[in-house]
Amino acid sequence: MQWEAVIGLEVHVQLATQSKIFSGASTAFGAEANTQACAIDLGLPGVLPVVNEQAVAMAVKFGLAVNSKISTRSVFERKNYFYPDLPKGYQTSQMAEPIVGPGWLDLTLDEQTTKHVRIHHAHLEEDAGKSLHEDFHGMTGIDLNRAGTPLLEIVSEPDMHSAKEAVAYLKAIHAIVTYLGISDGNMAEGSMRCDANVSVRPKGQTTLGTRCEIKNVNSFRFVEKAINYEIQRQIELIEEGGRVIQQTRLYDADLDETRAMRSKEEANDYRYFPCPDLLPVVLDEAYIQHLQAQLPELPSQKQTRFIEMLGLSAYDASVLSASRALADYFEQVYQVCQDAKAAANWVMGELSARLNRDGLEIQDSPVSSTQLGQLIQRILDNTINGKAAKQVFATLWAQEGQSADEIIAAQGLKQVTDTGAIEAIIDEVLAKNTAQVEQYKAAEVDKRGKMMGFFVGQVMKASKGTANPQAVNQLLADKLAALLD
């Protein structure tokens, strides 16, 4: 049987506010345990929450960026459950009336394929603290620094059908929140976390299968692996005559598998009700317009501009606009060299390969955008050829602080374009290889092209790679033709 997976994602984005969503305590990551939790975060008796206006503005900006309807009235509710790192015994969240209503995103999967994913809603809520089970000799330590950190939970419709689509969606969300500057998007520090709802059904069936929720997957790679595992698990289960049980599962990256955490029957009744300590958040149109005007160019807009103004392909444009840092780098390279295609090729090719190899982010590239732009300039103005350019790039990567021109000069890589000099080398090569010249003369016309490659190689070698390949080809062809006469 042909199976179709149905996937919806809940993405938790930590908002980059200075202070917490309902208190003035700092949100900085990595402080000593419980030093960034004030009386409100600790849930002491008598304290009251006050909404952080910054968090509201960030949520609205996100909503505007994903074509959502912004709610002019949204309501904070209490989600009640007991847990040691949940100080008040409830999480303040939004349920029936979230701040961001339905929206959508178009993803570019490859040169030919785009994917439309609908967003169900996004809501504001506070994060809980952390329970630390190690280092406390059988007891549990509670760190409440994270308690009250603002989160935006973005809930998609079940519109995705493969792990690849889910990852593309997650990357698009990541790009948007980092472009907007509303989150640092740092998945390793938990600034972005993802729950995936996965079900399978026979292809062509319209009703949904029973879903499982995979909790807290913290990297693009793990999202892909966890979803693929879960799809396979459900298909095998059904094909063996079993039945998928609605449950929450955890992904174990070490074993690359998901494991049952709790079933629906064991699920909490959260007893949601409107938080009586907070008034509904009421926004007027002018405020929403004001935030709309502050939006930066978004990934999809940048992508369109790269295609229409710079002539890039859809795929190149989507790769280069996926992160603001990469797009900025590319645009700076382009500013220096003034050739978008060459800039795109270098950034997506040589530079990305090196970054991947060394496990570096674009921000940490040892070759600056100016250095790379200048290098490309030297290719375009024929100062160096492509082969020498790779050598210059390798040197730029390894030794910081030099310019491309300095390396070209120091390593003598300046391209020889002087026809007299090249002719002299050609003459020398032809004189040294009389046997090959005779073979060339005797060969069939259609074989000569291939034999010519031998002479080009010899000439380039003799010039230590600096001879202009076009000039070599032209002059050599002329010389050999003359010998035939």
Partner 1 sequence: MLESSVLESSLTELAQGLQTRQFTSVELTQALLARIDKLNPHLNAFISVSDQESALAQAAAADQRLAQGQATPLTGLPLAHKDIFCTQGMRTSCGSKMLENFVPPYNATVVERLAAAGMVNLGKTNLDEFAMGSSNENSYYGTVKNPWDLQAVPGGSSGGSAAAVAASLVPAATGTDTGGSIRQPAAFCGITGLKPTYGRVSRWGMVAYASSLDQGGPMAHSAQDCAVLLNAMAGFDPKDSTCVQRAVPDYCATLAANLDGLKIGLPKEYFGEGLHADVAAALEEAIKVYESLGASICEVSLPHTHLAIPAYYVIAPAEASSNLSRYDGVRFGHRCQDPQDLEDLYKRSRQEGFGAEVKRRILIGTYALSEGFYDAYYRKAQQIRRLIQQDFLNAFNEVDVLMGPTAPTPAFDLGANTQDPVQMYLEDVYTIAINLAGVPALSLPAGRSGTRPIGLQVIGNHFEEARLLNVAHQFQQVTTWHQARPQLAF
- How far apart are alpha carbons 472 and 422 in whole angstroms? 7
Asked if 269 touches partner 1 (CB under 8 A), the answer is yes
What is the nearest approach in angstroms of partner 1 to the Cβ of residue 279? Answer: 6
Q: How many secondary structure helices (H) and strands (E) does the chain include?
A: 17, 15
Return the residue of 31, 44, 282, 360 that touches partner 1, per CB under 8 A.
44
User: Residue 243, Cα to own-chain centre: how many angstroms?
Assistant: 36
Q: How far is the CB of 97 from partner 1 (least distance, A)?
A: 14
**Shortest spacing between CB 38 and partner 1, in angstroms:** 10
What tokens were used for 364? 């940490």
| Cα-based distances in Å from 234 to 166, 198, 241, 252 | 17, 9, 11, 17
- Cα 207 from Cα 385, distance rounded (Å): 60
Single out the segment in contact with partner 1 by CB under 8 A; choices: 41-49, 320-328, 349-357, 393-401. 41-49
477 near partner 1 (CB under 8 A): no
Contact between 8 and 170 (Cβ < 8 Å):
no
DSSP assignment of 385-442: -HHHHHHHHHHHHHSTT--HHHHHHHTT-PPB--HHHHHHHHHHHHHHTHHHHHHHHH
Q: How far is the CB of 138 from partner 1 (least distance, A)?
A: 11
Q: Which is nearer to partner 1, 49 or 209 (CB)?
A: 49
Among 2, 30, 46, 444, binds partner 1 (CB under 8 A): 46
CB of 149 to partner 1, least distance (A): 18
**Is 27 or 91 the residue whose CB approaches partner 1 more closely?**
91
When binding is defined by CB under 8 A, the residue of 51, 95, 132, 325 that contacts partner 1 is: 51
Closest to partner 1 by CB, 101 or 141: 141
In whole angstroms, the minimum distance from the beta carbon of 79 to partner 1 comes to 10
For residue 134, the minimal CB distance to partner 1 (Å) is 17
**136 lies in the binding site for partner 1 (CB under 8 A):** no
Interface with partner 1 includes 431 (CB under 8 A)? no
Count the alpha carbons within 13 Å of 425 in the hemisphere toward its beta carbon: 26
Distance CA 175, CA 312 (A): 19
Query: Phi/psi at 91 (nearest 5 deg)?
Result: -105, 130
Which of 11, 142, 187, 320 binds partner 1 (CB under 8 A)? It is: 142
The verdict on 49 binding partner 1 (CB under 8 A) reads yes
Within 85-114, the residues that bind partner 1 by CB under 8 A are 87-90
Contact flags string 146-165 toward partner 1, x per CB under 8 A: --------------------
Q: Describe the crossing of helices 469-484 and 434-442 by its angle, rounded to 10 degrees.
A: 70
- Residue 470, both tokens: 């076009």
